[in-house]
Amino acid sequence: MADLIAPALRPANPRFSSGPCAKIPGFSLDMLDDAPLGRSHRAAVGKAKLKEAIELTREILGVPADYRIGIVPGSDTGAVEMAMWSLLGARPVEMLAWESFGEGWVTDVVKQLKLDAVVKKAPYGQIVDFSTVDFDKDVVFTWNGTTSGCRLPNADAIPADRQGLTICDATSSAFAMEMDWAKLDVVTFSWQKVLGGEGAHGMLILSPRAVERLESYVPAWPLPKIFRLTAKGKLIEGIFVGETINTPSMLALEDYLVALKWAKSVGGLRGLVDRATANAQVVWEFCAANPWLQNLAETAEIASTTSVCLKFADARITDGEAFAKAVAKRLEKAGVAYDIGAYRDAPAGLRIWCGSTVETADVTALMPWIAHAFEAEIAALAQAA
C-alpha cells in the first residue's frame, strides 16, 4: 500500500454532492451584493426580483407561455406534495417509482392520502416500463432518479391525448435534460440541484390542464395554508407572478438569479445540457476502461447525466457497503471529493454529481483519484486477510 502514488492533478473544486450541489463556477458571496436584505418580499423590489426569477426560469427552460410558474416553500418536496395534495383524488392514480424519492411519493399517496393507487416499481438500476402505464389515470413519477442514477430518456410513451394528469418530479433533471413540456402537466424542482442554488425553495410549474383541475376539483382532505393554490374556486394568480405563499429568502433568491444569469451566459438550456452530458461522459468512459467500477443504471439509454450512481464489481470485495464507504472516506480525507457516497437507501457505491455547474476538468481530475482509492482499499483488504 505504501507503493501507491497519489495522482498529481487534483479537482479544483472537490464538491460533487448531489444536493445541495456545486455553486456556479467562480461563485463568490460578492455576487449577491444586490440582494434586498432586510426588505419585504412584498415591497416593489422584492416582487420585482421574484417575478424576474420566474421569467428567467421560463426563458431558459422553454416553458410554454400558458404554463404557470410559482415559487413555493419546502424545496422540491414541498412542490411535489403541494401538487399531489391539491390535484389527486379526482381520477384513478398510478404511481411510478424506481428509487427512494419516488418511493416516498408512493407512501404519501397510499398511506397519507389513502388513495387506492396502482403502484408500479422497478429495482435500482432500472426504470418502470412506460408502455405499460395507463395515462388516462393521473400518473406521478420522477424524471431522473437522484438516488439511482436512472432517468426517463424521453416522454415519447406519454400520449398527447391522455385523460389524466402527469405529475413529474424533475428536481435533478430540470436545467440539465431536455423535457417535453407538452407531455407534462405538473413539473417540480428545487433551486439547490442543477443550478447549485440554496435550499428550502421549490418551483411548481402547472399546465393549463392542471389549472383546470385545480379550479374544478376540491379534494376530500383538508389542505394546509402553504398547499392552497386556489381561493373561491379560482387559481391564486399572485403565486405565479412572485407573490409567494410564505416568506422567501431574499439572499437565496438573489443566488438563484445569479445562477440563472450564468445559465444564459453558457448557452441557456442547450449549454447546460451539454455541460452535464460531457461530465457524465467522462465517468462513463472511465467505467468502460475499469470494469471494477460500473454504472448502476443497467442500460446507457436510462443512465443519468447528473446524479451518476456507481457500484464496485470486484470479487475481492466481501462487504460492499463497508468498502464503498471506505473509498468515499479516503477521497474526502484527501480533499478531492466531498459527499459522493451512495444515498443511504440505495445500493452501496458512489454517487458523483455531474450537473451543469460542475466543470468537466474537475470530473476528469477525480477519476484517477477514484482508481487510487480503490487500489488502496483493495490493498488494505489483502493486508488484513
As a whole number of angstroms, the distance between CA 16 and CA 22 comes to 7
Residues 156 and 59 in one domain: yes
Q: Is residue 2 part of a domain?
A: no
Residues 283 and 220 in one domain: no
Q: Is residue 252 part of a domain?
A: yes
Closest to 254 (Cα-Cα) out of 9, 11, 86, 29: 29
CB 220 within 8 Å of CB 29: no
**CATH number, domain containing residue 358:** 3.90.1150.10
**CATH number, domain containing residue 256:** 3.40.640.10
166-176 burial, b at 16+ Cβ within 10 Å, e below that, comes to bbbbbbbbbbb
Residues 112 and 238 in one domain: yes
Per-residue pLDDT of the chain in tens (385 residues, 90 and over written 9): 557 899 999 999 999 999 999 999 999 999 999 999 999 999 999 999 999 999 999 999 999 999 999 999 999 999 999 999 999 999 999 999 999 999 999 999 999 999 999 999 999 999 999 999 999 999 999 999 999 999 999 999 999 999 999 999 999 999 999 999 999 999 999 999 999 999 999 999 999 999 999 999 999 999 999 999 999 999 999 999 999 999 999 999 999 999 999 999 999 999 999 999 999 999 999 999 999 999 999 999 999 999 999 999 999 999 999 999 999 999 999 999 999 999 999 999 999 999 999 999 999 999 999 999 999 999 999 999 8
Give the predicted TM-score (pTM) of the model.
0.97
- Measure CA 253 to chain center: 18
Q: Is residue 177 part of a domain?
A: yes
Residues 215 and 281 in one domain: no
Residues 37 and 181 in one domain: yes
Q: Which of 231, 264, 297 is the last residue of a domain?
A: 264
Q: Which of 225, 246, 264 is the last residue of a domain?
A: 264
**The C-alpha cell that represents 312 in the structure block:** 464496485
Tally the C-alpha atoms within 13 A of residue 319's C-alpha that lie toward its C-beta: 8
Structural domain containing residue 120: 29-264
Residues 72 and 164 in one domain: yes
Q: Is residue 324 part of a domain?
A: yes
List CB contacts of 126: < 8 A, sequence separation 6 or more: 98, 150, 298, 302
Residues 217 and 359 in one domain: no
Q: Which of 264, 293, 322 is the last residue of a domain?
A: 264
Give φ, ψ of 296 to 5 degrees. Answer: -65, -35
CA quadruple 117, 123, 125, 131: dihedral, nearest 10: -40
Total residues found in the chain within this entry: 385
Residues 113 and 241 in one domain: yes
Q: Is residue 362 part of a domain?
A: yes
Residues 220 and 355 in one domain: no
Q: Is residue 249 part of a domain?
A: yes
Amino acid code (one letter) for 84 = M
Residues 215 and 280 in one domain: no
As a whole number of angstroms, the distance between CA 327 and CA 342 comes to 11
Residues 97 and 118 in one domain: yes
Q: Is residue 234 part of a domain?
A: yes
Residues 309 and 249 in one domain: no
Q: Could you count the other beta carbons within 10 Å of the beta carbon of residue 225?
A: 7
Tell me how many domains the chain contains: 2
Closest to 143 (Cα-Cα) out of 96, 106, 107: 96
As a whole number of angstroms, the distance between CA 127 and CA 120 comes to 10
68-106 burial, b at 16+ Cβ within 10 Å, e below that, comes to bbbbbbbbbbbbbbbbbbbbbbebbbbbbbbbbbbbbbb
What's the pLDDT at 385?
Answer: 82
Q: Is residue 189 part of a domain?
A: yes
